[in-house]
A and B are shown apart, each in its own frame.
Chain A
């Protein structure tokens, strides 16, 4: 196994209406999503099909009763909020009080980056289109995770895993990895504590919002390992690991390493390769302690008594992953797996020697460098509003205002993709998964697609009384190799459904 796996991200964007601080964020989020839908989705708008969703299903094997569930955990009821499927196979919708973009299912870390960055551009276009609505609301979106006043919103990752892997193994081996991976995929934050009551910089946007080690919740008592278990695939064979601990990254390299290294660790867990016990004594406290020390000197106590820094703990995983790839793949290792390993090693090495040398690669370092330059030029304390502003504005999705975008424009941040790659991914689906089938159907037969979801496309065909549901339970079927020719050949939805059900 390698970095290849069915995976994707889902990001909630911060939202504000300029000049109207009292604006209802649900309304503004709906305006953003609807404006994009109206402008880009032809003919009828396919509904989201909720049939297979079960957000209260727990990976540990029991269902949470609806009576005891917090209302914010219910996502499967169509609340009438905007919800649209795009021709790239992604889902654009309103979740609580934020617009959210879920990438289509992809199979490589670089493709996660590609369709995740496409999501930023979709959000940018959506906000611009919303400005043409009655009242001309000027809506600005932020790819960040906190307002520094107590609220946090998520940037989740999803990884398809073998059902046969014991969940306890996942918890044991993944927790120390999640406590420490922020050293390269943190997005950086001005302020400490959920409401930012303490001054100072920290590595992660999200660390202070995690309160327990394992659990089902995502909106309160957030767990390092989330147990939500909706595989959107055959539940006998697969689970979907729903990762809620990550930060929303702007840097392509941060996102690439975040999902690439995680995919490698999951492969090692599935194949029972991890023989060392890297368990951490106090994961929640350690997560925060690592985040609160941008000098990276803070140590974590392992259950075996060793004290390692976050970077050193990551080096343990890197060492295992190198041996694993050598052992299992040897000369057959694919390019991206080797690239992830090489970059992971280089980044950890630089974090040990000279973290600031990564200001052109990692979000938290790029942001810190900018903040330090302002502090030194203008003599600012960490509680200065200007520094807080810089933190927020780093994630502004507008190329003319967003500071990440200004740094890229000035050649100060490295990229893995170019603008044309990302623009293509706004409309074109990935080719290796069922997202290809979903996306192509929406592109070619929009007028006859009544609804769609991760695991189905539902057609409303002329002359047929009932809707025709095409299940797509296997994430790796419905790829271009499977259905590309068929879709090319079928000029109508009727012809396609007839060919599929023959």
Chain B
């Protein structure tokens, strides 16, 4: 009923629209009609008869004034798709109705009244069989053929369909209008019930219009026109020149008088003080004297990382191999590529092969990227990191503070004189106590005396034709000038003829005094003679005597070392040869008595035959060195007082510090060895060396302290052809150790036959030293 009411209302509305506003109503009708037409088309295609019938029914009912039924039946097809189902229902019900009717009349039509009141033959619907040939022919198509329709003008139908049924003329507008006009609808009928009153709701035309506007989403306000004529603010026409080319007006260039006035006004106001120029508001320091403010962060510095902070290890920066365009030498050749490809990915040295892409844009995505990053993250996350405390010590700081050699001058630094003349090696040399002469001895069997400064040879003597002179030493002391030399098996004592008569006389007397003692001495007994008879001093041959030789001591063995006692009355010789009987290796000679004694009856224990011996400069101690040790014997008590074990394999020479034991310090000893070591011993400290200096490349042949004590220097001579000068100061303080500073390496001697510098000596006063070389020269260094 509601639906019928709606349709009624719609109809009413339609009509009202038609009457009052033709434009709206036309749209409305067209919309409704379209929908109706489509519906009817569907109806026609499916069951035209039904619709026809219904239409007929409608009109008939209309006629019968059964409004509600008519409207109802009319409403069904217009209600969309639901109607289709209902129609199909009707199709099923309809035949039963037809059968009943056919049963009653036995004719295939029935006569009904049409809208004009004429008889209308209504034939039953023919149900076509499924196998009907005409099923494809449109059921509703007119079958009257090609004749003008005007022939049917007088009939209610306009033709026949395929079933021979009349196609009824559709109702014309006049008929509908006539029908509608016949229906009286109260003014303002809406079909709605006012819920407050229960009476039919009646709406005025204004109210309906308002509703319509609301329904149409239009502005419901009265008098609003959405289509007012356009007022152009800018022109819609296209301009050739969008900007004006007109010249700038003059006023634009003139200073504005108005503005000037305004400005002057402001200026005046400022001058008069009425306007105060803007002043940035001074920061209001509310200095409260009582409150002290502390700037906690005033001197804050960047703090170092926490002590436990361990920075992540950094990846090495990418190299050329990772480059997209590596240098050609980084590119693998085919063989390398093959081996890389054949290798197990786990074994590969690197994850990628260097590839030349030519340009960056050709580089493809790196497939291993995620994996690589993941592994890196794993490394960072899982690898334990430990802070390793590194010991940072400047190695320089560990070195002892040594004074610079410059501060320790003077010391010999340059070769001042070369003494040439010896044929063959110069084996030994010695500077005389006055420091004017130099005595040298060499393989040519001569002993020569030179003027030290100029290198002029002053005197020479040929001691032996074939045997080398092994050692030459001046007798200490200035009261006489005596030179002791060992050539072959003999020792020679000489007075070179370079002296003034007085001194020469004194020297000769010194040497000659012993002849008397020797003569007065009882002849050695037979028993002594057999074993170890001390040699008798003999007079030299006349040629030697003319040359200046005064006495000869036939030692029977080759002496390699001579060392004078400081008083000049004794000297000790050592015959280190292995064939020398142990008891005769060390001999002490007394010049004043022409006496030779063998202090040792047995071999010194350990370390082979004795090598060299020296008297202590102040004490009655004789130091004897064999190959391994240096032993000190107290001559007065005849006791072994010291054993020094330098640790060298074969001692070549040693020297005793000249101020030893006098400056309250202990004895100091330097030992040179054939195994390249120079060892400093402080006898007070230990048997072991205090310092070991290994600076030479070859064996050390000779070591010597500066004899004066004025210069704390010592030097060594080595087979590598160099001399080394050291500063070794001995302090009187027992607590402080000797400081040893290497000063200078003096090079100049040529290495001849594996031998370099064979002997060394110091000038008695100056910091000059002389060296004897295997190259046949001696050199003065100063």
Question: Are A and B subunits of one complex?
Answer: no
Residues of A at under 8 Å CB distance from B? none
Residues of B at under 8 Å CB distance from A? none
